[in-house]
Amino acid sequence: MKITADSIEPDKLRDDLLDRGAGAYVSFEGWIRDHNDGQKVQRLEYEVYEPVAIKEGEKVIEEAKKKFPLLHVACVHRSGLLEIGECAVWVGVTSAHRDEAFAACRYIIDQVKVRLPIWKKEHYVEGHSGWVNCERCAEHGHKHSVVTGN
Amino acid sequence: MKITADSIEPDKLRDDLLDRGAGAYVSFEGWIRDHNDGQKVQRLEYEVYEPVAIKEGEKVIEEAKKKFPLLHVACVHRSGLLEIGECAVWVGVTSAHRDEAFAACRYIIDQVKVRLPIWKKEHYVEGHSGWVNCERCAEHGHKHSVVTGN
Amino acid sequence: MTKLIKVRYFAGFRESAGTDEEELSMDVSTAGDVFAQLQHRHGSSEPLGHCKVAINDEMADWDSSVKEGDTVLLFPPVAGG
Amino acid sequence: MTKLIKVRYFAGFRESAGTDEEELSMDVSTAGDVFAQLQHRHGSSEPLGHCKVAINDEMADWDSSVKEGDTVLLFPPVAGG
């Protein structure tokens, strides 16, 4: 698990997972969309509390390795200000067969999104901004706590 | 859908799927493993009947687009002789959210593997070789039709 | 009724037929009939249910009818990826 | 019993608290007590069930006990990825 303020380079990260015994590689990338919940997004700001985010991310990866027969796993999450189209999070998994690679990649991104101390503030084209609440909270109809004027 | 005798370059293929509205990118790569069914594999030979493989691949992609709200989809399959570690097939999908990207990527690779007229012959370290039967047939306990001496 | 049919073989079928294509005069009405007669001729034991067929480069069913001049493509079990 | 506790705020909590950390003398036994007292103090309306807590950089539960000198990290709803 790595947190970085620099651009994520998926092709280099992928090459670290190469393995002669691997038949399947599945990767997920989360990109900054130009819209969310009907609002036009200009950029996103990620606040990460690194000491706990890294520990919790490693825990998620260990859980995935226990659940599925994997060869290699890695996850990198950005911090700081990101522009539309940039990669905010990358997960890569290799295994002998594809079933476990898909399942593990999905497990990791799902857990990372709800467990790591990472917050994003959307800056909207209209000028205001707001912290985005967690996905699970969103299911309870509780989405944005919009802060105006910044 | 593309069939190619040249190396697959996932990073270039990925860049064709970039989209300001995309929040999720999922890719699958099938790599040549050094073993299969307990046999050590030296290299693999893919025979592809291109006219029908391309038509059928396009059909699979269209089906995925109908089933899931996707932004971009692409699939490339190798033909010819491949060494251990090489990428035999690549599938990339972008969409607003990750649910549909994972589901579509999985749908496409599953269908490509069982519907396209593509055959692989494994060349084993021990010197013999054999055509690999389809995954579905394998489930019925019907796996290799080994041809010795080549 | 006897028809002139072109048959193309792929992968393992090409190896058991010893050729990648042949033109045959066959008394057949469906793609399945072509498969059955050639399985006998070439001594292949691959069950029809594991195989696929295309007619004139379009995927077809085993009960698709075959007419004079058609090219029938016999696909042994596929294994992409 | 009154304890000296260091509290750290993140994201929206930092904005409503107007600071990223403070040292407080609090009469609390669990992390949940810390949350409840500070929610009142800072006028935040975020339900506890949406938030998380860590004590001394280890993820904790709301009923984890808090002792003198602990650093309690209050995490508003997370949204990685």
Q: How many CB pairs under 8 A join B and C?
A: 74
ipTM: 0.92
Give residue D6's region: left, alpha or beta (phi > 0; psi -120 to 50).
beta
D4–chain A nearest CA distance, Å:
23
- Which of B23, B113, B7 lies closest to A87 in space, CA to CA? B23
Q: CB contact, 8 Å: C41 with chain B?
A: no
> b/e map of C49-71 (b: 16 or more CB within 10 Å)?
ebbbbbbeeebbebebebeeebe
Q: CB contact, 8 Å: D18 with chain A?
A: no
* Lowest mean pLDDT across A119-123, A128-132, C51-55, D8-12: A128-132
- For residue A91, give the amino acid letter: V
pLDDT tens track for D14-50: 998 999 999 999 999 999 999 999 988 888 888 999 9
Residue in C10, C58, C79 nearest the CB of B120: C79
- Chain C residue numbers with beta carbons less than 8 Å from the beta carbon of B135 are 79
Residue in A55, A114, A121 nearest the CB of D78: A114
- Determine the 3-state secondary structure of A17 from DSSP: coil
Which residue in C9, C21, C58, C78 has the most chain B C-beta atoms within 10 A of its own C-beta, making it the best mutation to test that interface? C78
Q: Does residue D65 form part of some domain?
A: yes
Contact B134 C50 (CB under 8 A): yes
Q: Is the pLDDT of residue B146 over 50?
A: no
Contact B118 C79 (CB under 8 A): yes
Structural domain span for residue D14: 2-75
Strand-pair category, B80-83 with D21-27:
unpaired
Mean pLDDT of A41-60: 97
Q: What is the pLDDT of residue A8?
A: 98
Q: What is the pLDDT of residue A138?
A: 47
Q: Is the pLDDT of residue A149 over 50?
A: no
B8–chain C nearest CA distance, Å:
13
- For residue A128, give the amino acid letter: H
Q: CB contact, 8 Å: B72 with chain A?
A: no
Share of chain D above pLDDT 90, in %: 83
Share of chain A above pLDDT 70, in %: 89
- Determine the 3-state secondary structure of B130 from DSSP: strand
A143–chain B nearest CA distance, Å:
16
Give the E-state strand segments of chain B in sequence order: 2-4, 24-31, 35-36, 39-48, 72-78, 80-83, 87-95, 118-124, 129-132, 144-147
Q: With both helix axes pointing from N to C terminus, report the angle between B98-115 and A98-115 in degrees, rounded to the nearest 10.
A: 180
Which residue in B89, B102, B122 has the most chain A C-beta atoms within 10 A of its own C-beta, making it the best mutation to test that interface? B102
Let me know: does B137 contact C12? Beta carbons within 8 Å. no
Residues A73 and A67: their CA atoms lie apart, in Å, by: 13
Burial of A135 from C-beta contacts in 10 A (0-12 / 13-18 / 19+): middle
- Chain B residue numbers with beta carbons less than 8 Å from the beta carbon of A30 are 23-24, 98
Residues D3 and A29: their CA atoms lie apart, in Å, by: 45
Q: What is the pLDDT of residue B135?
A: 56
| pLDDT higher at D44 or C68 | C68
Residue B92: both structure tokens together: 């990339």
State the distance between the two ends of chain D, measured CA to CA, in whole angstroms.
41
Contact B142 C54 (CB under 8 A): no
Strand partners, D53: D60, D74
> How many distinct structural domains can be found in chain D?
1
Stated pTM of the model: 0.92
- Chain A residue numbers with beta carbons less than 8 Å from the beta carbon of D11 are 47, 119, 121, 131
Q: What is the CATH number of the domain that holds C11?
A: 3.10.20.30
Contact B137 C77 (CB under 8 A): yes
pLDDT tens track for A66-96: 999 999 999 999 999 999 999 999 999 999 9
A20–chain D nearest CA distance, Å:
30
Residues A52 and A19: their CA atoms lie apart, in Å, by: 30
Q: Does residue D49 form part of some domain?
A: yes
Q: How far is CA D14 from CA B15, C63, D41, in A?
A: 38, 71, 13
- Determine the 3-state secondary structure of A54 from DSSP: helix
Let me know: does A18 contact B10? Beta carbons within 8 Å. no
Supply the mean pLDDT for chain D: 94
Residue of B nearest to A10 (CA): B11
Residue C23: partners with Cβ closer than 8 Å, 6 or more residues away:
C4, C5, C6, C7
Let me know: does B142 contact B132? Beta carbons within 8 Å. no
Residue in B89, B109, B142 nearest the CB of C50: B142
Residue in D10, D75, D81 nearest the CB of A89: D81
- For residue B66, give the amino acid letter: K
pLDDT tens track for A111-131: 999 999 999 999 999 889 999
Q: What is the pLDDT of residue A85?
A: 96
Q: Does residue D80 form part of some domain?
A: no
Q: Does residue C81 form part of some domain?
A: no
3-state helix, strand, coil in chain D (%, to 5): 25, 35, 35
Counting CB pairs under 8 A, whether chains D and A reach 3 or more, is yes
Q: Is the pLDDT of residue A99 over 70?
A: yes
**Cβ-based neighbour number of residue A68 at 10 Å:** 18
Mean pLDDT of B106-118: 97
Q: What is the pLDDT of residue D80?
A: 85
- Chain C residue numbers with beta carbons less than 8 Å from the beta carbon of B136 are 50
Q: Where are the domains of chain A?
A: 2-125
Residue B107: both structure tokens together: 């749908």
Q: Which CATH number fits domain A2-125: 3.90.1170.40, 3.40.50.880, 3.40.50.1010, 3.30.70.270?
A: 3.90.1170.40
Q: Is the pLDDT of residue B150 over 90?
A: no
Q: Does residue D7 form part of some domain?
A: yes
* Lowest mean pLDDT across A125-129, B59-63, B92-96, D28-32: A125-129
Contact A31 B25 (CB under 8 A): yes
